[in-house]
Amino acid sequence: MIDVRKFYLNGEWVKPVSTQEFPILSPASEEQIGVTILGNEQDVNKAVAAAVEAFKSFSLTKKEERLQLLEKVLEITKDRFDDLAWAMTKEMGAPISMARDAQADSGVGHLEGFIHSLKQLVERETLSNGDILVREPIGVCGLITPWNWPINQIALKVIPVLATGCTCILKPSEHTPLSAQIYAEIIDEAGCPPGVFNLIQGDGPTVGAAMSAHKDIQMMSFTGSTRAGTDVSRRAADTVKRVTLELGGKSPNIVFSDCNLEKRVTESVKECFLNSGQSCDAPTRLLVEKSCYGEVLEIAKRAALSQKVADPTEEGDHIGPLFDKIQFDRVQNMIKVGIDEGAELLVGGTGRPSGFDKGWFVKPTIFSNVTNEMRIAHEEIFGPVLAIIAFDDEADAINIANDTPYGLAAYLQTDDMDRAERVASRLRAGAVHINGGGFNYGSPFGGFKQSGNGREGGKMGLEDFQEVKTLHFG
Ligand code: NDP
């Protein structure tokens, strides 16, 4: 049984005040593999007190000292790479090859991106009017991360804290405490001063809510559902905290008939199913030009039927289970909603894939003949479920693409680069991926509209954790 019952506070592994245990379940076997503790408000207060004290000295450190700390964290992250990957395979069911190549890789990639950006970051400059502009750390930060990309999200929040001279309290999802514990061990081994980084396991309504309302926390950085993100903002309002949010998405993927359909559609389907569809920027609405609609359905169906589902501990490019029963039930319900709404089930459906009688495995599913008014087209499903919608022309595609409360990402498939630029400029989304172009570490990531605010990664991801001070000399 994996024991995650200690919190990392003020540079030490301590027994929490709370004694409320929470089981860690394997999503593949449904068996209990470990135990953690759900912290309470007193645990939060202890962590905040440590972070407040540590801020007094860590906020004054020179950039060179912080770069040295980050270089050490990088070295140890590389040493613990396999431990991180296996932790995520066990706790949230990421298939081990993907857990290494994408999930754990993000811990290294974002860190390298931030080191590069910190070197470029100007912390003091003279304005043309003679005033001096200084960038300072914002203060104590509350970091809340979800279960779908645990280390990706932790790195995107914890590294900027260390890089800018802030201090923090991290609350990972209680469903993925294991990778967070290993991350804390990495920070500890790197020699981070006590109190700069604190880890509390716990749930959103207790620990997350206490952090959001705490008077000594100056900034909340949250990733998760729009529902929980707005709750964090509301609670943070009384103390006028800065709140950065990375929330949901329902990203459109526009397929024009002039692209290499076989390649682009096959890869689009695989991308939608990656991480079993549990990615905020997954291309979940495939918008298809009417002139190639029939051909696209055939290619998409072949791609979905070839999508292997297997145990996460096996090597390979299969997908694994969803992270928990809660998510399995949500996805099953949305597949049923799609059928009831009259969408055509092209592949998949409700129930587990054949060969599975336990674990939160779902069938890779595609709906065709979807209209953008259907719930499956505008609600985030967070499972391997693709909705295919036909469009008439470019203007129609842009309208459908933007007809969503979200604006995290958009995808375009076309061989006409003038069209790609034209359409990209009209899409209300924080990122546009053209012909399979992937995210590069060091670039900003974040959304328009209800997908959030602020940007994570690279230079902008550092600046979000800074305040600006102007010095006026007489
Ligand atoms: P949540 O947003 O509830 O969970 C994400 C994180 O927020 C967890 O650490 C969670 O803790 C915490 N949290 C929850 N409620 C609050 C609160 N009131 N105050 C502070 N923190 C809170 O997502 P769910 O796990 O419930 O998933 C629901 C849906 O959200 C998914 O189906 C998906 O659509 C979307 N989602 C989007 C993500 C993204 O990357 N943008 C990531 C995860 C989910 P706890 O686990 O205790 O609830």
Same domain, yes or no, for 355 and 372? Answer: yes
Question: Does residue 467 belong to any structural domain of this protein?
Answer: no
Helix axes 81-92, 150-164, angle to 10 degrees: 130
Condensed to tens digits (0 to 9), the pLDDT of residues 365-418 reads 999 999 999 999 999 999 999 999 999 999 999 999 999 999 999 999 999 999
Q: Which residues are known catalytic residues? A: 246, 280
Instruction: Give the CA radius of gyration of the chain.
Output: 23
Residue 277 Cβ < 6 Å to ligand 1? no
CATH number at residue 161: 3.40.605.10
Structural domain tally of the chain? Answer: 2
Query: 3-state secondary structure string, 338-349?
Result: HHHHCCEEEECC
Same domain, yes or no, for 268 and 285? Answer: yes
Answer for the pair 116, 56: CB distance below 8 angstroms, yes or no: no
d(CA 387, CA 365): 9
Specify the pLDDT at position 375.
98
Minimum CA distance residue for ligand 1 atom 12: 204
What is the edge-to-edge ordering of all strands in the sheet holding 344-347? Answer: 344-347, 365-368, 385-391, 283-289, 251-255, 409-413, 431-434
Same domain, yes or no, for 195 and 61? Answer: yes
Q: Which of 197, 218, 247 is the last residue of a domain?
A: 247
What is the β-pairing status of strands 12-14 and 7-9? antiparallel
Same domain, yes or no, for 189 and 262? Answer: no
Condensed to tens digits (0 to 9), the pLDDT of residues 281-321 reads 999 999 999 999 999 999 999 999 999 999 999 999 999 99
Same domain, yes or no, for 382 and 289? Answer: yes
Which domain covers residue 429, as residue numbers?
A: 252-434
Same domain, yes or no, for 293 and 214? Answer: no
Among candidates 47, 108, 50, which has minimal Cα distance to 76? 108
Residue 456 Cβ < 6 Å to ligand 1? no
Q: Which of 228, 247, 266 is the last residue of a domain?
A: 247
Question: Does residue 382 belong to any structural domain of this protein?
Answer: yes
Condensed to tens digits (0 to 9), the pLDDT of residues 18-62 reads 999 999 999 999 999 999 999 999 999 999 999 999 999 999 999
Question: Does residue 460 belong to any structural domain of this protein?
Answer: no
List 2's β-bridge partners, or say none. 34
Tell me the one-letter amino acid at 349: G
DSSP code, position 464: T
Question: Does residue 448 belong to any structural domain of this protein?
Answer: no
CATH number at residue 397: 3.40.309.10
Q: What percent of the chain has pLDDT over 90?
A: 100
List 13's β-bridge partners, or say none. 8
Question: Does residue 449 belong to any structural domain of this protein?
Answer: no
Same domain, yes or no, for 151 and 274? Answer: no
Question: Does residue 259 belong to any structural domain of this protein?
Answer: yes
What is the β-pairing status of strands 409-413 and 385-391? unpaired
Average confidence (pLDDT) over 431-443:
97
User: What's the CA-to-centroid distance between 363 and ligand 1, angstroms?
Assistant: 23
User: What's the CA-to-centroid distance between 228 and ligand 1, angstroms?
Assistant: 6
Same domain, yes or no, for 242 and 276? Answer: no
Same domain, yes or no, for 217 and 282? Answer: no
Same domain, yes or no, for 184 and 289? Answer: no
pTM across the whole model:
0.97
d(CA 464, CA 396): 36
Q: What percent of the chain has pLDDT over 70?
A: 100
